[in-house]
Amino acid sequence: MRLRSKIMAMRIVRVDPELKDLIPGFLNNRRQDALTIRAALAQEDMETVQILGHSIRGCAGGYGFNALSELGGILERGAQNRDSEAITNAVDELQAYLEQIEIIYD
């Protein structure tokens, strides 16, 4: 399964209602991360991409956003390997996912 298909298949996320107040800020921070990653990539700043990828990978799973966690890992590995194409593809997927995510609080 292609990355986009796999990630988009995970666009419906069930989140604990106790986290409801935190989720909008969390998602806005990930949108900002995507912009920062693009800017860092343009500057060939792989350290920033790696740090943000690692952060996304680590924190997203705690909120139940497994697709974001997976994308964070791809970003982190892409930066470690200095693979600009992998980073570009992953940040494209990240932004598309954030545009289409559906959250169910239950």
Look at residue 82 and tell me if it is in a domain: yes
pLDDT tens per residue, range 69-80: 999 999 999 999
Domain range enclosing 74: 1-7+41-106
The band of 11, judged by pLDDT with boundaries at 50, 70 and 90, is: confident
Look at residue 79 and tell me if it is in a domain: yes
Look at residue 94 and tell me if it is in a domain: yes
Tokens of 35: 């912009």
Q: Is the dihedral of CA 40, 42, 45, 51 positive or negative?
A: positive
User: Is the pTM higher than 0.85?
Assistant: yes
38 or 106: which carries more pLDDT confidence? Answer: 38
Look at residue 21 and tell me if it is in a domain: no
Look at residue 87 and tell me if it is in a domain: yes
State how many domains the chain has.
Answer: 1
Structure letter (DSSP) for residue 90: H
Q: Of the ranges 8-12, 27-31, 35-39, 43-47, which one carries the lowest mean pLDDT score?
A: 8-12
Look at residue 55 and tell me if it is in a domain: yes
Look at residue 100 and tell me if it is in a domain: yes
